Chain A
């Protein structure tokens, strides 16, 4: 089965740029979606199809995907961006990454 690998945690200083990676075999050939989840809440889609933002998601969220790694970038990270982030792809079934906890210092 297809596996997605994410770092357990990423830290970023307030106002700086955070990058969260999602590794998978030839993931660049797949469409990657990213979700933000805050404690006690359902996941929220923040990036779809590699690099597109749903309505209402701030412009500081962006995404890219190439080769064996996809990246979620949060430019000018805010305290409210502290959350768990998950990547997702379709590979015969929907697969989620293990998640990355973002800490804003």
Chain B
């Protein structure tokens, strides 16, 4: 059974940093592109970042230079390093596996940026 479990969310002050993790199991992690998608309360999902099987990375414009996505295939783990956080980054952050579409999602981890 495919499982994705996020962790690392929490309350952080504006300008602060957080590192999100996503532990994957039940599939060959190295064979799939992986993504982070966020969703603010009452809003639709917003794609944030993705990483290919070759380590190629992609970001939405609003997080470029502040967020860094990475993966550790030996640990079946996906990460999102978030720096210079802003109030607008407040959301539930999901990791998602890409196959055709995003076919598996984690339960999400809440990031709150507030003073």
Asked if B102 and A45 make an inter-chain contact with CB atoms under 8 angstroms apart, the answer reads yes
Chain A nearest CB: distance from B97 CB in Å?
10
Asked if B44 and A86 make an inter-chain contact with CB atoms under 8 angstroms apart, the answer reads yes
* Interface membership of A48, Cβ < 8 A: yes
Chain B nearest CB: distance from A98 CB in Å?
5
The interface residues of chain B lying within 8 Å CB-to-CB of A52 are: 100
Asked if B47 and A93 make an inter-chain contact with CB atoms under 8 angstroms apart, the answer reads yes
Residues of chain B at interface, number, CB under 8 A = 18
Closest to B103 in A: A45
User: What is the bound-complex CA distance between A43 and B50, given in angstroms?
Assistant: 17
* Interface membership of B87, Cβ < 8 A: no
Closest to A94 in B: B47
* Interface membership of B94, Cβ < 8 A: yes
User: What is the bound-complex CA distance between A35 and B47, given in angstroms?
Assistant: 14
The interface residues of chain A lying within 8 Å CB-to-CB of B50 are: 94
Asked if A48 and B105 make an inter-chain contact with CB atoms under 8 angstroms apart, the answer reads no
User: What is the bound-complex CA distance between A48 and B46, given in angstroms?
Assistant: 18
A: residues with CB less than 8 A from B are 33, 35, 37, 42-45, 48-49, 52, 54, 84, 86, 88, 93-99
A-B contact pairs, 25 of them (CB 8 A): A33-B101, A33-B102, A35-B102, A37-B45, A42-B94, A42-B105, A42-B106, A43-B45, A43-B102, A45-B101, A48-B100, A48-B101, A49-B100, A49-B101, A52-B100, A54-B103, A88-B101, A88-B102, A93-B47, A93-B60, A94-B35, A96-B44, A96-B46, A98-B44, A99-B44
B: residues with CB less than 8 A from A are 35, 37, 44-47, 50, 58, 60, 94, 100-103, 105-108
